[in-house]
Amino acid sequence: MLKIENLTKNFGKITALNNISLEINSGEFFGLLGPNGAGKTTLMNHLIGFLKADSGTITYNDELVKFGDKQIKRKIGYVPQEIALYQELTAYQNLKIFGSLFKLSKKELSINIDKALELVQLLDRKNSAVKEFSGGMKRRLNLAVSILQSPEVLLCDEPTVGVDPQSRNAIFEMLQQLNKQGITIIYTTHYMEEAERLCNKLAIIDNGQIVASGSLTDLLNTLDRKKTIKIIKTAETESLYDKLCEIAAVNVFDFKYEIIQNNEFQKDSQLYTYFEKIGLSSNLIEVSSASLEDVFLHLTGRRIRD
Amino acid sequence: MSNIFQMFKKDLIRFMNDKTAMMLTFIVPIVLIIIFGNIFGGNNTSRGKAHVIFVNKSNSEIAKLIEAKLDSSSNIQLIKKYRVEGTDSILSFTEDKAMEYVRTGKHAAAVVFPSDFLLDTSATMNIKFYYDPRNEIESSIIQGGIQQTIFSQLPEIFPALLARQANNFLGETKANGFRNDMANMISSYFNIPKDSILKFASTKITSGLLKQTSSDSTKNSFIENLINFDSEQLVGKDLKNPQVTRIVGGWAMMFLLFTLTGIATSLFEEKQEGTLRRLLCMPVTRTEILLSKYLFSLSTGIIQLMVLFVFSWAIFDVDIFTNFTNLLIVIIISASAAVSFGMIITSHATSLSQANGVATLLILVMSAVGGAWFPTFLFPDWLQVVAKFTLTYWSVEAFQQIMWRQAELSAITLNLLILIAVTVIFNLYAINRFNKGKIF
Ligand SMILES: Nc1ncnc2c1ncn2[C@@H]1O[C@H](COP(=O)(O)OP(=O)(O)O)[C@@H](O)[C@H]1O
Ligand SMILES: [Mg+2]
């Protein structure tokens, strides 16, 4: 349905998008996972026709999405990364102002406003000024404003940044509800857990490039090992650090070392034998099942949140 | 179009929500007109008097009478003495000294009643008026004031003068008979009551007469038929508050220039809040967004000017209603041009502080050079040429024509055409740049 082909965008010397190709199908909850500065927002901006690509094309239902395209904006809703609301106005005024730009009939607009307010659970606060809202309420209203035209696709650019866990869950549920109603959702985030929890299709973006894409299982399958091995940092393990590095790449964190998959030790048993050999006590070893974090680490050699 | 209107409405709602901004929109012009009005013209109090050197070489009593009337005039201040340079001695002006003072620009004008001010047999008063043509407006005010004073005194002076002549020739008793005859004749010829003529004719020229004020229109028409006072065109003679009227166009334009940053400020604000991007993600074009901002800035500019003008009318008696339609046209067109200048700045600025910086510079330079602060005829020639490259010049000029000379639209066609052309070209350019999406 939404097809991105060889999209490239430079900002001066920075290549924000580097030859990106992706396909998103109708009804998907599509996750775009990547660290800050990866190019997620830039890609979103192209999908909505807000930015002009240097090369490459985007098509929506086989129609070209052009820069400044008015039509696409009726079909695609966009939840910006930042709170994009008139703070001094009420929730209702904001909805009315932005909604009025979709050329809906008065009745249709007022129905849609009510529906949106209900979805984000702000009906009782609709006459309060936005600046009096909590971070979570603002996020919810930010979402409500983006669905007034009943879009076919909803772009959500990190909609949970700066939100308390309770509001975050509420936003997840709202999006899942919209998805169930048939709205295709494209969701960017740098939180692995969010992507794992919400998305049935995923793409991992780093440095303006798509490094992997597919379903969660597809992505986890790219890992040879379905488990991560971490070693707790102590005086003992610190003295063994050099030896660990002889058999595997080791990522150093504040409290832990993380052993990165190494082809020489295909089997876990070989690793454990080695640990025993160098005298690493087994209670300092943590094993957990692999996550998107590991996929990212495996693909880029870095953790997603540095 | 409906999108533009919706976004315009949005700006209006936001504006109305911001009580402080709204108050300022109205209060700033009011406060400024009060301050500037008092500095530059005031309410026809002594502060607003035009200063003029006065030398009376005539020993005629009529001359003394008029001098006394001028002394008490509310719009002219006679200066009769000067301080000798480098000393403490103060001397009365002579005609030569007066001419020197005007020539060297120490004063705008000098009035001299020569020794032949009023010859025994003559009905004409000779007055010499020296002035610096660069101060033509002030000279006009002075000339107008003197003429007005003389005219208003003539009905009293003339019969008294005739009476004195009659006494000299005929003796007291016969003169009374003559007075009666004369009054009969004047009243039958000029159709004014005999009593009023007799009253003045029987009055000796005494200090008591000086206290009389005359505003009776019949007397004026009598004199105007008798004496043909050949006057130059006196610009602004009828204006109630010429000083304020003269400057109000300049303020108006300066105000408009302050709206220059309006569009930039509002766009950068919306960019910062993220709402600009949200708007751009809605089915509206960039042109529509920019035009809605334009319309909003224009409306606030026009409202501010209306407040400014209404207050200059309410407080300083500036006549805005005689030529109101033309004034409105000039206001709207000037505002359009000023706001379009703001569009250009907005389309090039990469930050709000940059936009503000450039705008401040432009406001100051254009106001100064374009004649918003001082009349351009005071400028050196080259600067007068430069002035024509500022928006302010054409706009202030148009305001002056409309307010000062009560001119027809035809007198300012060129001004209006230039302002309209600037508006169209600047807007097209700005919209074109905005559409490329380089900055916003
Ligand atoms: N308008 C812009 N001008 C210059 N550089 C930009 C602009 N927008 C984004 N970038 C750069 O492009 C890269 C990708 O940014 P962005 O798409 O915002 O990343 P993300 O949303 O994944 O955090 C970053 O290096 C950012 O600095
Ligand atoms: Mg982003």
pLDDT digit string, tens, across residues B225-246? 333 333 333 234 455 666 677 6
* B248 or A154, greater pLDDT: A154
The domain boundary residue, chosen from A188, A214, A240: A214
Q: What is the mean pLDDT of residues A275-297?
A: 83
Model pLDDT, residue A42: 95
Tell me which residue has its CA closest to atom 5 in ligand 1: A11
Ligand 1 neighbour A52 (Cβ under 6 A): no
Residues A174 and A234 in one domain: no
* B353 or A184, greater pLDDT: A184
Convert the pLDDT of each residue in A224-267 to its tens digit. Answer: 766 778 888 888 888 888 888 887 778 888 888 888 765 555 56
3-state secondary structure string, chain B?
CHHHHHHHHHHHHHHHHCHHHHHHHHHHHHHHHHHHHHHHCCCCCHHHCEEEEEEECCCCHHHHHHHHHHHCCCCEEEECEEECCCCCCEEECCHHHHHHHHHCCCCCEEEEECCCCCCCCCCCCCCEEEECHHHHHHHHHHHHHHHHHHHHHHHHHHHHHHHHHHHHHHCHHHHHHHHHHHHHHHHHHHCCCHHHHHHHHCCCCCHHHHCCCCCCHHHHHHHHHHCCCCCCCCCCCCCCCHHHHHHHHHHHHHHHHHCHHHHHHHHHHHHHHCHHHHHHCCCCCHHHHHHHHHHHHHHHHHHHHHHHHHHHHHHHCCCCCCCHHHHHHHHHHHHHHHHHHHHHHHHHCCCHHHHHHHHHHHHHHHHHHHCCCCCHHHCCHHHHHHHCCCHHHHHHHHHHHHHCCCCCHHHHHHHHHHHHHHHHHHHHHHHHHHHCCCCC
> A135 lies in a domain?
yes
**pLDDT category of residue B359 using cuts at 50, 70 and 90:** confident
Residues A36 and A138 in one domain: yes
Given a cut of 80, is residue B199 above it in pLDDT?
no
Given a cut of 60, is residue B217 above it in pLDDT?
no
Model pLDDT, residue B36: 66
> A301 lies in a domain?
no
Name the residue among B123, B152, B155, B143 with its Cα closest to residue B231: B143
Q: B89: alpha, beta or left, given left = phi > 0 and alpha = psi -120 to 50?
A: beta
Model pLDDT, residue B386: 87
Q: Which atom of ligand 1 is nearest to the CA of A81?
A: 21
Mutate to test the interface with A, among B10, B271, B282 (most CBs of A within 10 A): B282
Q: Which CATH number fits domain B47-155+214-233: 3.20.20.70, 3.40.1710.10, 3.40.50.300, 3.90.25.10?
A: 3.40.1710.10
Residue B274 Cα, gap to closest chain A Cα (Å): 4
Percent of chain A residues topping a pLDDT of 90: 58
> A306 lies in a domain?
no
| Cα B440 from Cα B436, distance rounded (Å) | 9
Residue B290 neighbours by CB under 8 Å, 6+ apart: B263, B343, B430, B431, B434
When CB atoms are compared, the residue of A80, A86, A101 closest to B283 is: A101
* B215 or B411, greater pLDDT: B411
Here the CATH number for the domain that contains residue A139 is 3.40.50.300
**pLDDT category of residue A175 using cuts at 50, 70 and 90:** very high
| Cα A156 from Cα A154, distance rounded (Å) | 6
Ligand 1 neighbour A125 (Cβ under 6 A): no
Convert the pLDDT of each residue in B387-396 to its tens digit. Answer: 899 999 999 8
> A222 lies in a domain?
no
Model pLDDT, residue B372: 83
Residue B91 neighbours by CB under 8 Å, 6+ apart: B81, B82, B83, B84, B97
The terminus-to-terminus CA distance of chain B in angstroms comes to: 21
Q: Poorest-confidence range of A61-75, B82-96, B128-142?
A: B128-142
Among all bound ligands, the one having the nearest atom to the CA of A47 is 1
Ligand 1 neighbour A155 (Cβ under 6 A): no
Q: Which atom of ligand 1 is nearest to the CA of A158?
A: 21
> A69 lies in a domain?
yes
Among all bound ligands, the one having the nearest atom to the CA of A16 is 1
Ligand 1 neighbour A36 (Cβ under 6 A): yes
**Strands of A249-252's sheet, edge to edge?**
A249-252, A256-260, A227-232, A285-289
Residues A128 and A237 in one domain: no
Mean pLDDT of chain B: 75
Residues A48 and A185 in one domain: yes
Q: Poorest-confidence range of A191-200, B159-168, B247-256, B262-271?
A: B159-168
Q: What is the mean pLDDT of residues B159-184?
A: 67
Beta strands A153-157 and A184-189, pairing class: parallel
Residues A236 and A201 in one domain: no
Mean pLDDT of chain A: 89
Tell me which residue has its CA closest to atom 25 in ligand 1: A37
When CB atoms are compared, the residue of B13, B18, B285 closest to A93 is: B13
* A120 or A302, greater pLDDT: A120
Convert the pLDDT of each residue in A178-188 to its tens digit. Answer: 999 999 999 99
Residues A156 and A82 in one domain: yes
Convert the pLDDT of each residue in A162-174 to its tens digit. Answer: 888 888 999 999 9
Convert the pLDDT of each residue in B19-38 to its tens digit. Answer: 777 777 777 777 777 776 66
> A303 lies in a domain?
no
Name the residue among B358, B347, B356 with its Cα closest to residue B439: B347
Question: With an 8 Å Cβ cutoff, are B17 and A87 in contact?
Answer: no
Q: Does B21 touch chain A (CB under 8 A)?
A: no
Model pLDDT, residue A173: 93
> A296 lies in a domain?
no
| Cα B315 from Cα A281, distance rounded (Å) | 93
Residues A110 and A250 in one domain: no
Residues A112 and A42 in one domain: yes
* A75 or B34, greater pLDDT: A75
Model pLDDT, residue A299: 84
Residues A261 and A209 in one domain: no
The terminus-to-terminus CA distance of chain A in angstroms comes to: 34
Q: Does B283 touch chain A (CB under 8 A)?
A: yes
Q: A154 forms bridges with which residues in the sheet?
A: A77, A185
| Cα A129 from Cα A87, distance rounded (Å) | 7
Question: With an 8 Å Cβ cutoff, are A67 and B437 in contact?
Answer: yes
Residues A195 and A136 in one domain: yes
Question: With an 8 Å Cβ cutoff, are A80 and B281 in contact?
Answer: yes
Convert the pLDDT of each residue in A113-146 to its tens digit. Answer: 999 999 999 999 999 999 999 989 999 999 999 9
Return the amino acid letter for B163: A
Sign of CA dihedral A51, A52, A54, A57: positive
Chain A positions touching B6 (Cβ under 8 A) are 97, 100-101
Beta strands A256-260 and A249-252, pairing class: antiparallel
Model pLDDT, residue A202: 94
Question: With an 8 Å Cβ cutoff, are A102 and B283 in contact?
Answer: yes
Mutate to test the interface with A, among B5, B278, B434 (most CBs of A within 10 A): B278
| Cα B400 from Cα B406, distance rounded (Å) | 8
Given a cut of 60, is residue B206 above it in pLDDT?
no
For residue A301, how many other CB atoms are within 10 A of its CB?
10
Name the residue among B226, B293, B255 with its Cα closest to residue B434: B293
> A294 lies in a domain?
no
When CB atoms are compared, the residue of B13, B279, B280 closest to A89 is: B13
Domain count, chain A: 2
Residues A143 and A97 in one domain: yes
Q: Poorest-confidence range of A85-99, B67-81, B334-348?
A: B67-81
Q: Which atom of ligand 1 is nearest to the CA of A44?
A: 17
The domain boundary residue, chosen from A214, A241, A270: A214
Please count the residue pairs, one from chain A and one from chain B, whose beta carbons lie less than 8 angstroms apart. Answer: 68
**pLDDT category of residue B205 using cuts at 50, 70 and 90:** very low
**pLDDT category of residue B46 using cuts at 50, 70 and 90:** very low
Residues with C-beta atoms within 5 A of ion ligand 2: A 40-41, 81
Model pLDDT, residue B209: 33
**pLDDT category of residue B365 using cuts at 50, 70 and 90:** confident
Residue B313 Cα, gap to closest chain A Cα (Å): 36
| Cα B155 from Cα A219, distance rounded (Å) | 110
For residue B357, how many other CB atoms are within 10 A of its CB?
14
Q: Does A102 touch chain B (CB under 8 A)?
A: yes
Residue B435 Cα, gap to closest chain A Cα (Å): 9
Question: With an 8 Å Cβ cutoff, are B13 and A67 in contact?
Answer: no
Residues A33 and A148 in one domain: yes
Residue B282 Cα, gap to closest chain A Cα (Å): 5
Q: Does B271 touch chain A (CB under 8 A)?
A: no
Report how far Cα A174 is from the mean position of its chain's Cα atoms: 16
The boundaries of the domain holding residue A237 are 227-289
Model pLDDT, residue A192: 86
